[in-house]
Structures are given as C-alpha cells and as structure tokens.
Chains A and B, each alone.
Chain A
C-alpha cells in the first residue's frame, strides 16, 4: 500500500515517519519546509484551560474533551495523544526532555513564563527558577533579544526567580556582523574556539548568579554544545527561545526529517499539490505542480497535513468567506456542541470590531439562524472564532460533510487543519498535530 502525506510540519513528518517505520510505502509532498523551524522546539499538549494554567495536561485534556465535544481532543482521546507524545520523545530523546504528563513553565524572550510539556534538555534549567538568582545574558549583535527586558519581566513574574539581572555582551557572531540571526550564532557556537570566547565573555558578567539564561543559540548541529558551555561556566544554563529562525525548532525539524528519510520516506520538496483525482469516493491520486508539468502521485491513502491559515491551506477572503484550498473540504466551526458552518459565521459577523465588512450580513440566501459569533473580535484575548474554523473529521480522521459522512473514504486530515481548537491560546498545537497524525496512522495500518 502507498500513502501520500501532504505537508512537512510536525503532523506530516510524524505521520510519515510512523507509517514508514511500520512498513508502509510513504511519499511526503511539501511545497516548502514545514513550520517546525518557526516553532519553539517544544511540545505543548495543553497549556491553558480557559484562563487556568494547566499542570497535568492529560488530565486537563480529558476534562476539556468532556466540556467541548467538538474539540479535536474530544475526538482523539487521551490515549492517542499520550501514545503519540511518548512515541515522539522516544524518537528524539536527545532533543526532548520532560515528563509527558506534566507541564513545566519556561521563560520566553520577553521574560514571561510559558507552559509546555516536553522541551529540549538545554532548556531544562529554565523550568526551575523559583527563588533563585538568575542572570540573562546575550550578545548585543543578536537580533531581537534584550537581556535587560527579559530579566526585568522575569523578576516580576509570579513563580519566577528571586532576582534576575540582564547583561549584554559585545560579541559578534562573525567579524563585522552587526545584526545576526540566532542561527548565525548557533553555527558559530558549534565551533569549540568560538564557544570558548563566548564562555569567557559570559563568565565575566554573571557574577554570583545561580543560573544563567542564554538565547537559544547554543550550537546547531552539535547537540552537546550547550553542555560544553554549561561546563565552562560551572553553573546551570538554560536556552530561551527566540523569534524565528528558531534554532531548537530547526534542530527538531532536521532530526525528524532525517529519521523519516532513514525510515524510507520519499520526500518531494518544492512543489505544491494543486489538485487530485477521485473515483468511487476515494482519492486515487494527488496532482503535484512540478516544474514544467503536473505530475499525478497515485495513493491508496492520503494524509492531509497542510497546516491552517498560516500556510494558506485555509484561506479567508475579504468578505470573511473561508475556504479549504485543495479539496474544497467543508469548513466548519465548533461551539457549544453545535456545528456552525463557515457561511453562518460569515453571515452573522457584524459590528465595528469584526473583520467582516459592513453589510455582508445581508448577503445571499445562505443565512440561517445559528450561534452568532464574529470571526474576529477586537479584544485579542477574546475567543477568536476564526481560529476555530477548520475541517471537521470523523473518528477515523476523515473529513466529513455537513451530514457527517466522510467526503472521501481514504483521506485523513491532521494537524492545524482540524476545526475546534485555538492552538495559540490553549497551547495545544503540537499535541493535536501529534495525536491526529498518530490516530490517522493507526487507521491506515488497520489497528
């Protein structure tokens, strides 16, 4: 049997790797590199339930599923998510530490504390700062990292360190480079000589701090570079994730891509899937828009993991109309136990704080009474319905239409495409990506 996976984010890579290691013939098609290099390199399962910070994500996931039956976690269940997260950790133990059922909080680049579940070992010391004296240190020539800002915010964050002081170093990544990305630093810190200079400069400013927070640039290919730096300083260090390019995300992306290739996944990078053929309710091939011609890639199963709005797989136009762009799958939103179709949301979106243009409420005969909710509201922290939009699936992860029937019997949607979750405020993105990839693979493998 041949499976085609579309998309190379965490969900696509995980599905491809899982299937290939079970003996499936897998081809992964992707327009570009997936979203992992933009991620923190951590695995969030569930960070917040409403306003409450979650400490035991699996237990909270069960509670959430009971209260929100349209949430992807209600469909996936605790077992699939737990199995998937444990499986991923076993694949890359050098990149993911932590106890799967327990959240920690890690400092961000602006000095907030962010809950997550698994994290690089190089970040572990950042999970345990309460009551300690912390130094935050970074080079002045590194883009978008301000040690003083990070330290000042950390010091006033509940649950944060007893004291935190920021220090900026004068230390270009390469001679003459005034404004370098984290990756330029990470590459230079792969080199023992540069590392020694870095350690000396950091050691000169940290004084008697007990723990040292450094930007997440402590080596790229050399996964032990941070340990060498820690040893050199003689005190615990922790990495702090920066804005993209994210070195911890790149490390994870590289590792998973290499594992997928080693397991026999054929990766086709650089072309977009622009169409498909179907017969008898099954997708028979997807069409890849290669240079010069369109190439059909036959498939027995298709795992569709293209991402959501960020990647363009879901698109919202200026009238508030939302579309899934490849298969034109029905786009649905979830809320209070009922399914509201995308057009209903569009029709009810009104008022100055919404993104739908004035007057659009009156358009067309589609308007049916339904939960009135604007797509976006002016208050960032409010429930933003737009981000709950997505594709609704059955228990086998197959996208379904409004009557609940699968659109195709061998098409499985995973990851950010799934409706019902606001990943960035719940901190549930990786858990959903992994759990859905795992569940789709189980169905394909007939388990």
Chain B
C-alpha cells in the first residue's frame, strides 16, 4: 500500500510542481515508449485483431476504432492509421514476429510495458470489452507475457482506480469537484464509495491478491502507471466495470417465473477471492442422487479461469430425475459388453444403420421423457442466462461460459439468444465459450452465428464414442449432426473442435473427467509438485502457528492476517516467475490462425 502511494506521489512530482492536468496522463504513460516501440505496439494490436476478427464483419468497426484510438493514445502521426488498417486487413506482413523483434530490440522491458499500457488504456474507459481482452491476450502471448501476469495487470489497474477515488492534490480536488457537478457522476461516486466502505466490491480486505499485487507491481510498473489512470474518475470507472446495480451476479435469482423455468440461480463457485476484470460462469449437466444439487458445483472445483467464478443452479428436480434414469439405464438395462459394442458401432460410422439393443429400446421411454423435458428447459435456461448477461448486472467486463452436457446446451442457447439480438450490446460480452458433449445441432450455419457474440474461442469438445448421446438423438436422420459427437464443420479461426475421445469414452465420463478436460484445454491448472509442496508447506506453517496460539482468543484474526502474508509470498514468487521466464505456459489463448493451437 505504501509503495503505491509513493508511486502516486512520485508521478505527481514528476509532472512538475505538483500540478496535475487532465489529459496529461496519456502523455505521461506513453512517453516511456520510443517511436519504434509505439509503432510496434500499434502494429501488434492491429495484427492481433486481424487474427481474431478479420473474418467477422461484425467486429470490423470495433477493431478499426480500437486501432485508431491506440494510434491517438500513442500520438503516432495521423497517416499511421492507413498502415495499421492495412495490417488489420491482412495486407503487409504475415506474422507479428518482426514487431516483437523490434520491441525487444528497443528493450525487453517494453514487452511488459506494452501489455500493461494496453490493459490500462482499455480499462480507463470503464468498459472492458471481451474483444479487447481477447486481443490483449493475443498480444501478450506474442510478447511472451503470461496470461497470469495480464490478470495481475488488470487487478493493479482496478487497484489504482480505487486509489484515485481519494483526491491527491489540490488540482485534482478541484477537478473532482468540477466533475461532481454532473449528476451522473455523483450517483456513481456514491455507489463507488459505498461499496468501498463495505470493502466488498474489490475484496480489499478479504482479497488475497489485490492489495499485494498493488504493492508488488507498484514498484515494477513505475510512475507512469499511476499517471495513466490518476485523473480518471475512478469511482465512475469502477462502477461501470463491475456493475453499479448492486450485488452483481452473486445470488442472482429469478424474481418471477419466466416461461417454463422454475429454478435459476447464479451462485459463486467457491470463494470469490477478488473481483476480477473477467469472470466465468460454469454450467453442469444432469445430477445424481449421491451429490444432489452439489453436482452444480463439484465438476468445477478445479476450474481456474478467473478469481471470480460462478455456477448456475437450475431445474435440479428435473435434472435429478434425468440422472436417475441415466443411472438406471446404465446399471440395469445395458450390460457393459453391450455398451462397449455400442461405442465401436458408433465409431465405425454405421450410425444410420445402428441396431440398438432391444433391452435399450424397451426402456427408452424411461429416459426419453426426462431427457426431452431437460432439453427444453436447458434451452430456456440459456435464454434466461442471456437476459441476465445483457442486463450487465456483472458490469462491463467479459464473461467466459463453460458447460458440459446439458449445461453446454444452456451455454449454446444463451449464445444463440444473444446472437439473435440486434444492437451492439451483445457484442464484446462473452469472451470464451466452452461446450463439452453438447446436445445441440452441429450444423455449421447455426454455429457460425456465434462468431458475433463470442469474442474469444468457441470450443466444441466432442466424443466420437458417445453412444448415449447418439441414442438420445436416435430418431433424427443420419444427416442430422450433433455437436457433441463430431466436429462442427465450420472453418473459422476462433472455432476450436477438440476431440476428447482419448479422455472420455461416453457421455457420463464428462463430469468425471472434467479436470483432465479442463487442463487439456488450458482452463484449469495441473497441480505440479512445486505448487503442491508450497501449499503443504504453507498449511503446515499455519497449523503450527495455530497450535502455538491455541489459547489466545484472537487466533482467527491472527490467522487471517497470516494468511495474507503467506499468499503475499506466493504471489510475488509467481510474479517473479512470470516475468523472468520466457517460455510461455499453457495460456488459454493461442492465436487460432497460428500454429500453436492445432490441438485445440
């Protein structure tokens, strides 16, 4: 904390006589860049947008505007627009390597500063578009900056925004007063300050990372950082980013019944450590008796997309019923041998000619009915989710959606609903969409409409031997494609078909093998020896302390204090690792058009 303040002070002093002028920030934050670095910075942005969105006319206006704004932000000459647009349109160079080379030639630190500046530049508008984040991750990857570091930059940006709610100098105070004359700002400020008072919005008190990163990165980022955001109306920006409407997504419940939907609730997935500039919503498929509605949580316990993750509780009664039917079918009706035979038959491609075992067919009605109900309802839930997302209760930040089985159907119908809405508010809302074993059509023309509403990757994880899914769709003709069974034949740089047949053998495996799937897709982290060890050491440490302080009444408070310290340590370690290592770790982003993503 002290570090941060120091840096803010330093920035103020550097600007001369403590006078901070509005509009001066840009200059201060970009003056560290040489011309060559600025040029490369803009070019890398244009190329990243090209790789992501050149094929989607919907996103062209956004991309052009973004590149144009970056050009202005960096104070490059007007005519540079032309070359950057040409780069975006796919003319000129093929890869950004030459620009990365140029950046490194100017100084290796610039790689870090470019990504940091991109994050700050994007956040200060109060709207963190999913497309912006997707682009930043591509740029970061090309510059060998790990996505975890990008996340830290995002957090530190948020940190600085909240810091600046308290005016620092006389000039700023004047500026703030002037701003407060507009009614809108007043309202935002009130919301911003109120939430800050409660310490809830940023998890400043309970947050593990935020305060520490502020301190850790503070010295690393240098003075320019503070300047980049200092005179922005912090509260207003924070309000816009995280939603001013109140509690956000957490605990969102349907106020009234919409259509058929009986149950729909968004719950935080585990502890929300800190408000992130990016959040994730995970949706499970059917439930079973062992876990009950905890089945909405359990598959996602190792999901690691954001520090702020949610899951959806929906229609548990029907999903439980379906789960029971599936269990019954698998344990009584169809022998293991028959199941294996079915897998092989499906794999051999004799799909239309498949002869379903008589035992299965006679019991079909057991499953067909709940399946039909759940299919209808999950589509409806998807539409409801779309409604929630459009309302921007979560603020102006990107959301990643993950779903398996019927949960993937929820995600798909949510996206489909979004894509049917006109207007720009549905664009730049969803970052990645990950659908596993999806019981929806695999028709390319339907999937291609998702390009407008998904800014990052569209992942279709399928299994070729998923006989249950095939059985459930047995009445459809051979021409009908099901996404969960085969790749979607839509060639698009952001469409990723992932064959999961080597991990899952059938539909029921998705929930069980979800960790492995998520790791292979880069949405969860493998617990390696080092982190395991570190974890055990830190808990040991804690336990020891606990024993030591057993009789003191304030054990809890001490522990929470200590917890902070331990995590501080880890965070700095991570930070060091990510800044020093040049080898990129599995980031969820690999530019689709480049080589690296062949397996995704």
A binds B: no
**A interface, CB within 8 angstroms of B:** none
